[in-house]
Amino acid sequence: MAGVIIVGAQWGDEGKGKVVDIYTDEADYVVRYAGGPNAGHTLVVNGEKVVVRLVPSGILRRDAICVLGQGTVVDPKVLVGELDTLDARGLSPRDRMKVAERAHVILAYHILVDGLREATSAAIGTTKRGVGPCYEDKAARRGIRLRDFRSRVDLEARVSRALEAWGPTIVALGGTVPTVEAVVDDAWDAGQNLLPLLADTAALTEAALKARKRVLFEGAQGTLLDIDHGTYPYVTSSSAIAGGACTGVGIGPSRIDAVVGLAKAYCTRVGGGPFPTELEGPVADRIRTIGAEFGSVTGRPRRVGWVDLPALRYAVRLNGLDSIALTKLDVLAGLETIRACVAYDTPNGRTRDFPADDLEACTPVYQDFPGFSQDVSNAKHLDELPKEARDFVRFIESEVECPLSIVSIGPGREQTIILSHPLRPE
């Protein structure tokens, strides 16, 4: 049995798409367990960029079965569009995709509400894809699930009930409440297209694990955006930590053998919320440009900052990380000085802990490192990196007390130093 979770260890956008794609050379199943089309994962293969929002990143590996668990929320039109695009590239994704029949559905009114809210002073910087309102319906027990597309009559009844609840909110925000018919018409064809892919994915995943298949669980967003443990209220609407894999898929925690956390050699954040190590000015612009730090879903420029080791230690603890995949080290090449936040000064003194609820009152304490000018993107082994780069990554490893399993030095599959592989016997 080999169940391995890949989880973001920062504020998302850590490079999960690339790392999952690399690990799936040994995976039989790739199972997405949380989030929705707000999670764009960028894959680069043979110089070509592929962005997926809902389809698991393992879809580029022709032998991998890809699964969307019931903890995800699905926009049927987005998913069908992705499948059609991948099909046009000759990948035949529908032959290898299974989607949870219990997964909740994002409909037109969810997107409408999300957009209206983000136009107010209470905006928190969502992707306006309807993810939050869909999870609200799920918690309120009025959600629409993919299995509901098997009967138009039942679907219309459920949509009517949801619109009764959302109507006053839409009107108060200055919007127009759509009709039941318009909402169902908008999603019906895409929903019918997905019916052949629906399955009891919890039972499917458990059967795969019992058969000793290698299963990779793919998260979305990052630890610091977790609904329970992130920088609330500037968080996502689902469980973005490793524990979310068990609830989002429907398996027991004893089925997990390893957890790998992803972290950039610096930090980024999208949308509002506290960001202690945030940079502005030429260094931020350089990192953002070289690192292509623009949202793969929204195109928005990401906020950029130095690596935050108290936050990374927090992620190691919350997720029980066995190793860290460190990404985008190459982006730091050419900087005269590289900084790492090692602690915070707070009104109560200095701390090495991450106070998720009081970040506004925290001042980062930095340790500086000499930069490196060499191009590192062709290195095959860690000892081929310049000493300054090696010292920096080894410092991160030592400070957070978690070994590195990958050092990524470029966007391509081949631009990766693999130190250990959770699905490959030693």
Identify the CATH number of the domain in which residue 164 sits. Answer: 1.10.300.10
The structure's pTM equals: 0.92
The answer to whether the beta carbons of residues 295 and 302 sit under 8 Å apart is yes
Residues 247 and 321 in one domain: yes
Residues 259 and 311 in one domain: yes
Query: What confidence tens digit (pLDDT) does each residue in 54-92 have?
Result: 998 888 888 899 999 999 999 999 999 999 988 888 888
Residues 393 and 339 in one domain: yes
Catalytic option among 13, 75, 114, 330: 13
Beta strands in 313-371 (DSSP E): 323-327, 337-346, 349-351, 363-370
Residues 180 and 293 in one domain: no
Q: 10 Å Cβ neighbour count for 373?
A: 10
- Average pLDDT in the 145-172 region? 98
Residues 274 and 215 in one domain: yes
The pLDDT of residue 227 is 94
Query: Does residue 237 lie within any of the structural domains?
Result: yes
Residues 125 and 84 in one domain: no
Element (H, E) at 303: strand 303-308
Element (H, E) at 359: none
Residues 183 and 304 in one domain: no
Least-confidence region, from 40-49, 92-101, 157-166, 256-265? 40-49
**Domain end call among 196, 212, 239:** 196
330 as an active site residue: the answer is: no
Residues 353 and 395 in one domain: yes
Query: Does residue 178 lie within any of the structural domains?
Result: yes
Q: What is the CA radius of gyration of the chain?
A: 21
Domain count, the chain: 2
The pLDDT of residue 19 is 87
CA distance linking residue 263 with residue 265, whole number of Å: 7
Catalytic option among 21, 28, 41, 308: 41
Residues 80 and 140 in one domain: no
The answer to whether the beta carbons of residues 16 and 262 sit under 8 Å apart is yes
Residues 164 and 216 in one domain: no
Residue 422 preceded by cis peptide, ω within 30:
no
- Of 222, 187, 194, nearest to 35 by C-alpha is 222
CA distances from 317 to 11, 127, 354, 364, 382 (A): 16, 28, 11, 20, 26
Query: What confidence tens digit (pLDDT) does each residue in 322-337 have?
Result: 999 999 999 999 999 9
Query: Does residue 94 lie within any of the structural domains?
Result: no
13 as an active site residue: the answer is: yes
Residues 147 and 232 in one domain: no
Tokens 């992705």 correspond to: 82
* Residue span of the structural domain in which 44 resides: 2-89+200-418
